[in-house]
Amino acid sequence: MEGTEFVLAILLVFVLPIVIIGIATGHRKEMTKLKLQLGDTQAQNVVNELEAVKSRLEVLEAIVTDKKYQLNAELDELKNESIRLQQ
């Protein structure tokens, strides 16, 4: 029986901690990979959103710099001014 107890003690003292450390290290590596993938996905979402905002801004700039828009704004301002003068 002393031989069996010795083998169990060796397993408990040396092998079990090595197995636990290996499992923990593997888990950390997997979590790091997942975090990097998630980070890449989030970064791509931000880039896509930024591109959408840029295209919307271009449309708004085109509208505001359009001569018809400016002319309508000036006409509205003149109408408002004439209404204020009549009051």
- The confidence score (pLDDT) of residue 60 equals 86
In the numeric block, the tokens 């509205």 are attached to 76
Give, in order, the Cα–Cα distances in Å from 3 to each of 6, 9, 17, 18, 67: 5, 10, 21, 22, 97
- The confidence score (pLDDT) of residue 25 equals 92
- The confidence score (pLDDT) of residue 54 equals 93
| pTM (global) more than 0.85 | no
2-32 pLDDT, tens digit each: 788 888 888 788 888 888 899 999 989 988 8
Domain count, the chain: 1
Q: Which domain holds residue 26?
A: 2-86
Cα–Cα distance for residue pair 2/11, rounded to 1 Å? 14
Pick left, alpha or beta for residue 66 (phi over 0 → left; psi -120 to 50 → alpha; otherwise beta).
beta
Residue 17's nearest CA partner among 5, 27, 9 is 9
32-49 pLDDT, tens digit each: 888 888 788 887 888 899
- The confidence score (pLDDT) of residue 1 equals 59
